C-alpha cells in the first residue's frame, strides 16, 4: 500500500527568523546616520528635524513591511513528500523549486539549536551528493516524521552505544594534539604582551579566544550525551549536544570507509575515536568521539560486515627501507583480501586505521616521490567515491605495483558482474587505470 503524501509549510516562526537579520542591518544603518537626523524638539544644529510621532510611524512601517514581506514569502513556501520525491517550493518574487529523489539521499540530520528547543522548532537537513536541502524551521514532530519517511524507518530502534560523561571529559583532557594546539594559540596571543609589557597588547588574545573555545570547551558541550542508535531499517543515527541537540543519520549502503583514530595518551585505556566516510561527503563524519576498541569493532561489524572486523588486526608491516623515508615506519601497514582493504598510518601523537570495502573503490593510484625513487619505494592510494583515499605508504616498488593491480582487479570484480581475465601492466609511477579509460562507476 502506497503511503499518503506528506505536505505542509514551515513553522510560522520562520519569517521572524529571516526578517531579524534585515531589521538588524537597517537599525545599524540608521545608527550610522544618526548625525543627520534629530528626533524630538527642534534644534538649530543643521540636522533634519523629525517629530517623535513621525519617527515611530516610520519605524513601525519598516518593521511591519519587512516582516510582512517575509511572511508573504513564507505563505508561498511549501514542502511535499510524495512517493520517492521530496519537493520544496519557496520564493515570492523569485520562485525556487527543488526536487530531491530519495534514492540520492546520503543522510538526514536534525539540528535543534538552544533557542529553537525553547520554542519547539528544529532544522531538517537532507544531505545529498554535493548539495544539501535545508528545511528550517519545522516542529520536531514534522522533522521526525519526514526523516522516518525519507529513510523508510519504523520505531524499532536499538541503542548500540552511549558515551559516558567521565570517559568524554578524561579523553578531552588526554588529547595531546588538541592540548598542544591550544597551548600554541595561547602563547601566540600572550607573546605581544610579554614583549611590550603593555596591557593593551593582551587584546590580541581576543582574536584567538573563539579558536581556543572550539578546541577545548565547545567539544564538551557538543559531544555531551553522544549516542549511536541502529534503526529497524538498518540506518544508523547519532544523537548529541547539550544545548544544541543534533541528529545525524547514515545509511550503511553509502559508507565508503571507517577510520579508527587513537591519540597517544588514549592507548593506556585502549580508547579510540571512530569516523565514517560517506560517499559524496567532503570529510569523514564523527561516529563516536571516544569508546573502547571493542565498541569500535562492533561499529565496523554493523556497518561493513564481519569480514571487515578481521581486517583490523595483523597488518603487513612496511619494509625495512621505509625507515629511511619516515621515522614512523612502524605505524605503517596494510591488509588486502576477502573484499576489504585496510591501511595503518599515523604519527607519534595519533595512529589511524582505515578499512574500506574494495567494492567502494573507484580508482587506484601508485605514486613515487624523488626520495622514494632513490630508495626504491612507492605509495598506493585507493580513491573512494565522492573523495578521500585509503593509503598504503612506503612499500617497495614491486610490492606497490602488485598491490595496485590487485586493488584494481578486486574493485572491478566487485563492481561489475563480468570476469576480468586480463589486466594491464602497471608501474609505481602510473595509475592502475588504463590511460583514456573511463573511471569506474561507484557501486
pLDDT digit string, tens, across residues 334-349: 999 889 999 999 877 7
Q: How confident is the model at residue 39 (pLDDT cuts 50, 70, 90)?
A: low
Nearest Cα to Cα of residue 333 among 392, 381, 380, 384: 392
What would the pLDDT profile of 272-294 be if each residue is shown by its tens digit? 999 999 876 778 889 999 999 99
pLDDT at 425: 36
Residue 412 pLDDT > 80: yes
Distance (Å, rounded) from C-alpha 240 to C-alpha 223? 6
Amino acid 40: pLDDT: 55
Query: For residue 228, what is its C-alpha cell?
Result: 549511536
pLDDT confidence of residue 70: 79
Maximum distance among all alpha carbons in the chain?
95
Return the ∠ at Cα 260 (arms to 258 and 262), rounded to 5°. 165
pLDDT for the residue 254: 84
* Residue 414 pLDDT greater than 60, yes or no: yes
| Single pTM value for the model | 0.67
1-15, 119-133, 230-244 — which is least confidently predicted?
A: 1-15
What pLDDT does residue 377 have? 94
CA distance 205 to 188: 8
For residues 338-365, give the mean pLDDT. Answer: 89
Predicted confidence at residue 44, as pLDDT, reads 52
pLDDT tens per residue across span 82-98: 878 888 888 777 778 88
pLDDT in tens, 100-118: 888 778 778 888 888 888 8
Confidence of residue 163 (pLDDT cuts 50, 70, 90): very high
Q: What pLDDT does residue 290 have? A: 95
Q: Each residue of 379-404: pLDDT tens digit? A: 999 998 767 889 999 999 999 999 99
Residue 204 banded pLDDT, cuts 50, 70, 90: low
By mean pLDDT, which of 17-21, 33-37, 142-146, 166-170 is the weakest? 33-37
Give residue 319's pLDDT: 92
When pLDDT is cut at 50, 70 and 90, the band that residue 429 belongs to is very low
pLDDT score of 439? 38
161 neighbors 288 (Cβ within 8 angstroms): yes
Residue 373 confidence class, pLDDT cut points 50, 70, 90 = very high
Mean pLDDT taken over the chain: 80
pLDDT at 298: 93
pLDDT of residue 203: 65
Selection from 290, 273, 279 nearest residue 252 by Cα: 279
Tell whether the model's pLDDT for residue 264 goes beyond 80: yes
Amino acid at each position: 500500500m502506497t503511503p499518503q503524501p506528506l505536505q505542509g509549510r514551515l513553522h510560522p516562526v520562520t519569517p521572524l527568523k529571516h526578517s531579524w537579520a534585515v531589521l538588524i542591518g537597517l537599525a545599524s544603518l540608521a545608527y550610522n546616520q544618526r548625525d543627520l537626523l534629530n528626533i524630538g524638539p527642534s534644534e538649530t544644529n543643521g540636522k533634519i528635524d523629525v517629530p517623535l510621532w513621525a519617527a515611530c510611524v516610520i519605524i513601525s512601517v519598516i518593521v511591519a513591511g519587512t516582516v510582512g514581506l517575509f511572511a508573504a514569502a513564507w505563505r508561498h513556501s511549501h514542502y511535499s513528500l510524495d512517493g520517492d520525491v521530496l519537493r520544496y517550493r519557496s520564493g515570492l518574487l523569485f520562485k525556487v523549486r527543488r526536487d530531491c529523489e530519495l534514492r540520492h539521499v546520503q543522510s538526514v540530520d536534525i539540528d535543534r539549536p538552544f533557542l529553537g528547543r525553547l520554542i519547539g522548532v528544529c532544522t531538517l537537513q537532507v544531505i545529498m551528493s554535493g548539495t544539501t536541502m535545508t528545511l528550517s524551521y519545522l516542529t520536531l514532530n514534522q522533522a521526525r516524521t519526514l526523516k522516518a519517511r525519507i529513510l523508510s524507518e519504523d520505531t524499532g530502534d536499538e541503542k548500540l552505544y552511549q558515551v559516558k560523561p567521565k570517559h568524554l571529559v578524561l579523553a578531552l583532557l588526554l588529547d595531546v594534539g588538541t592540548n598542544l594546539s591550544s597551548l600554541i594559540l595561547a602563547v601566540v596571543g600572550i607573546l605581544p604582551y610579554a614583549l611590550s609589557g603593555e596591557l593593551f597588547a593582551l587584546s590580541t588574545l581576543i582574536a584567538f579566544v573563539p579558536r581556543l573555545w572550539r578546541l577545548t570547551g565547545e567539544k564538551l558541550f557538543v559531544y555531551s550525551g553522544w549516542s549511536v542508535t541502529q534503526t529497524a531499517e538498518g540506518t544508523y543515527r547519532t544523537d548529541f549536544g547539550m544545548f544544541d541537540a543534533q541528529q545525524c543519520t547514515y545509511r550503511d549502503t553509502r559508507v565508503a570507509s571507517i577510520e579508527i583514530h587513537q591519540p597517544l595518551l588514549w592507548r593506556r585505556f585502549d580508547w579510540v575515536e571512530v569516523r565514517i566516510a560517506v560517499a559524496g561527503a567532503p570529510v569523514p563524519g564523527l561516529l563516536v568521539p571516544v569508546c573502547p576498541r571493542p565498541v569500535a569493532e562492533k561499529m565496523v561489524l554493523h556497518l561493513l560486515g564481519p569480514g571487515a572486523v578481521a581486517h583490523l588486526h595483523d597488518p603487513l608491516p612496511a619494509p625495512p627501507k621505509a625507515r629511511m623515508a619516515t621515522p614512523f615506519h612502524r605505524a605503517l601497514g596494510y591488509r588486502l583480501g576477502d573484499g576489504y582493504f585496510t591501511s595503518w598510518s599515523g604519527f607519534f601523537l595519533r595512529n589511524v586505521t582505515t578499512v574500506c570495502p574494495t567494492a567502494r573503490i573507484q580508482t587506484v593510484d601508485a605514486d613515487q616521490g624523488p626520495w622514494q625513487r632513490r630508495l626504491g619505494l612507492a605509495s598506493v592510494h585507493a580513491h573512494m567515491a565522492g573523495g578521500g583515499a585509503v593509503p598504503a605508504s612506503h612499500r617497495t616498488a614491486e610490492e606497490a605495483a602488485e598491490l595496485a593491480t590487485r586493488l584494481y582487479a578486486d574493485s572491478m570484480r566487485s563492481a561489475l558482474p563480468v570476469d576480468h581475465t586480463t589486466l594491464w601492466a602497471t608501474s609505481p609511477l602510473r595509475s592502475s587505470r588504463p590511460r583514456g579509460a573511463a573511471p569506474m562507476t561507484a557501486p
